[in-house]
Structure formats: structure tokens, C-alpha cells
Amino acid sequence: MRKTWYREGVVYQIYPRSFQDSNGDGMGDLPGILARIPYLKELGVSIVWLSPVYPSPNDDNGYDISDYRDILKDFGTLEDMKNLIASLHEAGIKIVMDLVVNHTSDEHPWFQASARNDPKYADYYYWREKKNNWTSFFGGEAWAWNEERQAYYLHLFSKKQPDLNWNNPAVREEVQGILRYWLDLGIDGFRCDVINIIAKADGLPDGRPTLILQGREHYLNHPKIHGYLGELREAVLSKYDCFTVGETVLIDVPHALGYLAEDRRELDMVFQFDHMNADCFFVKWLPRKFRMIRLKRPLSKWQNGLQGKGWNTLYLENHDQPRSVSRFGSDAYHKESAKMLATMIYFQQGTPFIYQGQEIGMKNAGFDNLEDYQDIETHNMYKMLRKMFHFSHQKMMRTVKLASRDNARTPMQWDETQNAGFTTGKPWLKVNPNHQSINVAENQTDPDSILAYYQKIIALRKAYPIIVYGDYQDLQKSHRKLYAYRRTYEGQELVVLCNFSEKGLTLRGGTDFKGMELLLSNYPAHECLYDLQPYEARVYYKK
């Protein structure tokens, strides 16, 4: 198996606008991140991924880029970015940027020139006189009318995010140039936004009628994509010591292996989303009760499916997903369940991704008023679902509270002061009132905190290669409350036991850990070796 720094590392995702404000404008920024490098070092992470920091009109919080080679003024300057890269490197931390190239902003000069029919840019986007029947990820149709060009353009996300035409070699060369630009500035890799939808079927045919994402069969993992990614690897990525992680929507194991095959290395790892359906049908906006088995089955499927052939990402949260402790854990056992979830996911095979605030057990925003949510997806879905299914405002608000992306975007909770130490101004999104009890400062005073537990896990991964590279095997596969698995590596063995229940659980056969050393647990003491307490997690090890 190939051993590399990005397989052995731990990634920390920063959502810059919510991490740390340095100038009191209510918006996080690069100097703010710089000031928190000691915190990242103490946590022990080795790679930072920044959600987009490029100039953007912020229709979708930076995922609508209007200039790929500069920094959004609210976040700082290019000099700040260079400084951040150098300082992170000095601290032994690599840095990965978000690469959003399925679409640009409609305020990007390419789109404006394309709308003018400037011959150089005319084919940078998909223009049609007649729309097809595709629908967008944010709800509604995927086409918008442009007055200037007198034509419709394709946008799989918001109207202000027109899709780039990857058939056009000039577009692909532009993307190569962007990659080179940042790699030459010292960037260590890219998280590639919705990368498995960049290739669209020729002629953009109508899609099969379906409720969600009509037309998706014409762009999800379209075969042309392998040519595009192969070209990027060869022309650019192969020349640098960097890695790519693809955000691959609706991906399955065979398609993932198509991107990850070692001889092609189109991507180094992918984000899959199957386990994100543990509490919803297909999309977050159709919630259902959380069942642990719906978390365990897909995670095991991906562990088994990629073993020896690919490489997994291990995550429970990001800027698009509600907080994991609110979804899969418990309020009554907040601390225990947050630690248990970390044990369950980060002892599997793959590269861990921690989303800011997860390491202190931050919870969903829980705002009661729709006006307190800023996210475009939330507002579009609210309107669409009310119109389509005649859902009441009350019902929709219950869903918003569960599903909104702003659940994970509330400012980072550094301390118990008014704005949680995030800003001295008015925060762009309300701070979660629970920051008085859930915050970094409080965690730092408690040797038994969630933060301290994350530090332990990260340190263990560095000390025990079995955690990184060991094979994975399910134990008690169909158990509905116990998630147990074994890892094996060069004669060593790890057994991980996680109780997903507010009740105690007695272990029966099939999880043997006799003669093994207890490496980690989220409870101080075990009265009976074979009884797990509520949300208890244990990790056993044998040389």
C-alpha cells in the first residue's frame, strides 16, 4: 500500500467566514486564521482545508468565484494569504484550497464576456435557445435567461453560478493555469467541489422524470470526466507533491474506484455521502429518524469496498451538513456521544477530516426564525417545498432546524463572551447561544474535554500505523446499537466498540478483546468489562 503524508495526516476544515474575525467587521478572515495557528498545532492536525477565499459576490458564500487568483477583500489580501501559507508551513501544517470549477460566478469576467458573445469566451459556458428539463441542486429549473445574449445558460446550482463548459479545451487550460498558480504559491492540494459532475452528455439531452435532480444521469460521473481529470493529473498535479480530494456527489464504490485507481490517480480520495442519509431519505430536506444501522452499513460498505484499492475520507461534518452530535449523538450525553462518534469514525481506514467546532462538540444552530438563516439553499428549499407539497411554515421550520447548512456555519465558539470570541463586531450569522457552555476556552481547562479527546485520537494516529493503514473488518454486523470493528496490520490488532444508545449494553460473543490493552475510552472506569455504558466507546490494542 502506498504510504503518503496525506494518508497519514489529519485534515481540519476551516469555513473562513465563521472561524475568527480579526478586524471587527463580523466576518472571519485570514489574519484571524493566522492568529489561531497555535490552536491548530495544539490540536495536532497536519493539514488545513480552507473553504473558498477567492473574490466572490457571495451568492453561495464563496462557492461562486469571480476571480480565481485573488482573495476576497473581506478575508484579506494576497499578501495575507502568502503569509498564512508560510506560517502554516512553518508550524508543520499543509494547506489545501477549495477548487470550484464546475461553475463560476456570473460576475466572473469570463461569463460577462461570454454573455457579450466575445468570440474568445462564447463557448466557456452552456448556452441554449431552448432549455432542457434539468433541475438544480438548489431547487427549481437549472436554466436562466440572459438578456444580453438572448439565450438560456445552464446552472446546476444558483442562477449566479453558471456551469463551465468543460468540452472547451480553453476552459480546461484555464483550470490548469489556476492550479499551477496556487501550487506555485505553495498550496499543497485541492478539495475539488462537485468534481464528478463537471462533464455533461453531448447535446444535454432531457432527463428522466424524477423528483430530485432531474437530468442527473447525463452528468453524474459522465465517462468524459476521466479524460478531463487525467489531463489535469498529467499536465499539472503530477508535477507537484500535492493531493486532491474530490467532492463526489451521489457516488458509489465502483465509480469511486474509477477515480482512485492507483495507475491513474485521477483523484487521491473522495467524499462519499451514503452515510449522510442515516437520518434522511436521499437528501437532508427529507428527514427521517436516525438509525445507527443506516450509518454503519454504508460506512462498512465503503471500508470494505475501497480496501486495498483506494482510500477513504473519514468525516461526519462539513459546511454543508448539520452538526453530527445533533444528528447522531445525544443532548443528555453530549460529551460522551461526541467522543464516541469521533472514535467510531476516526479509527477506520482513511484520512480524517474534522470540521471546525466539531472538536468541541458544537451543535446545530436551532434558530426559530427563518430570517436568522442566511443560506441560499435553505431559502430556496423552504420556498420550493412549501410550494410543491403545501407544507406549513411550522413544518418547514422543523425541517430547516434539522437540515439547514447554517447549522454548521454559526461562528466558531472560542469562549463564553458575547460573540463567543469570534468577533468584536456584529457577526454575519448569529452565534449559537450555547457558546456559554460549549466553547474552546472551557474545553481547554478540562483534561477530560471533547477537545482533549480529539487531541488524544490525533496523537494515537501518529503513534500507531495500524490506525492509518490497518485492514478493516466488521464485528457484529447487524447489531442495531453496537458499532464494532477490528483493524489488523502486520500482526497487530485493534478492536473498536461503540455504543449508540442512551442505555447500557452488554457485550455478547463476537467482540473478543481478551488479553488486549485498553488504548482509549470515553469513560473513566469500567465496572464490568462486558458492559458498555451509554454512548461508551472503547479501543483495544494488541501488538
Q: Which residues are catalytic?
A: 193, 247
- Shortest distance (Å) from residue 61 CB to ligand NOJ: 7
Kindly state the greatest CA–CA separation across the chain.
76
- Shortest distance (Å) from residue 345 CB to ligand NOJ: 19
The nearer residue to ligand NOJ, 273 or 489, going by C-beta atoms, is 273
Query: Which stretches of the chain bind ligand NOJ, using CB under 6 A?
Result: 60, 63, 100, 157, 193-194, 247, 319-320
Query: Cα separation of 9 and 487, whole Å?
Result: 18
DSSP output for 270-298: EE--GGGGTTBSSSTTSB----THHHHHH
The nearer residue to ligand NOJ, 56 or 434, going by C-beta atoms, is 56
The nearer residue to ligand NOJ, 105 or 511, going by C-beta atoms, is 105
The nearer residue to ligand NOJ, 136 or 432, going by C-beta atoms, is 136
Using DSSP's 3-state secondary structure scheme, residue 221 falls into coil
CA 36 vs CA 12, 20, 24, 201: distances in Å = 12, 8, 16, 45
DSSP output for 103-141: B--TTSHHHHHHHTT-TTTTTSB-EESS--S-B-TTSSB
Crossing angle between the packed helical segments 393-403 and 376-389, to the nearest 10 degrees: 140
The nearer residue to ligand NOJ, 58 or 337, going by C-beta atoms, is 58
Query: Cα separation of 221 and 259, whole Å?
Result: 9
Query: Cα separation of 41 and 29, whole Å?
Result: 19
End-to-end CA distance of the chain: 20
Query: Cα separation of 263 and 10, whole Å?
Result: 25
- Shortest distance (Å) from residue 196 CB to ligand NOJ: 11
The nearer residue to ligand NOJ, 100 or 237, going by C-beta atoms, is 100
The nearer residue to ligand NOJ, 100 or 496, going by C-beta atoms, is 100
For residue 63 the three cell numbers come to 462557492
For residue 275 the three cell numbers come to 452515510
Name the residue with cell 468577533: 423
Using DSSP's 3-state secondary structure scheme, residue 197 falls into helix
- Shortest distance (Å) from residue 313 CB to ligand NOJ: 13
For residue 11 the three cell numbers come to 485534515
- Shortest distance (Å) from residue 69 CB to ligand NOJ: 18
User: How many of the other CB atoms lie within 10 Å of CB of 376?
Assistant: 22
The nearer residue to ligand NOJ, 178 or 451, going by C-beta atoms, is 178
H helices of 273-375, in order, are 293-306, 324-328, 334-346
User: How many of the other CB atoms lie within 10 Å of CB of 157?
Assistant: 24
- Shortest distance (Å) from residue 104 CB to ligand NOJ: 10
Query: Cα separation of 37 and 1, whole Å?
Result: 32
- Shortest distance (Å) from residue 193 CB to ligand NOJ: 5
Which residue number has the CB closest to ligand NOJ? 63
User: How many of the other CB atoms lie within 10 Å of CB of 45?
Assistant: 24
- Shortest distance (Å) from residue 43 CB to ligand NOJ: 23
**Type of residue at 60:** D
- Shortest distance (Å) from residue 23 CB to ligand NOJ: 25
DSSP, res 434? G
- Shortest distance (Å) from residue 52 CB to ligand NOJ: 8
The nearer residue to ligand NOJ, 327 or 486, going by C-beta atoms, is 327
Query: Cα separation of 463 and 422, whole Å?
Result: 33
- Shortest distance (Å) from residue 408 CB to ligand NOJ: 10
The nearer residue to ligand NOJ, 111 or 453, going by C-beta atoms, is 111
Q: In what order do the strands lie in the sheet with 151-154?
A: 127-128, 151-154, 143-146
CA 395 vs CA 251, 260, 364, 404, 525: distances in Å = 30, 41, 18, 14, 43
**Type of residue at 313:** T
The nearer residue to ligand NOJ, 249 or 457, going by C-beta atoms, is 249
Task: Specify whether the CB–CB gap between 532 and 482 falls below 8 A.
Answer: yes
Provide the pairing of β-strand 151-154 with 127-128. Answer: antiparallel
Task: Report residue 161: phi and psi, to 5°.
Answer: -130, 70
Task: Specify whether the CB–CB gap between 265 and 297 falls below 8 A.
Answer: no
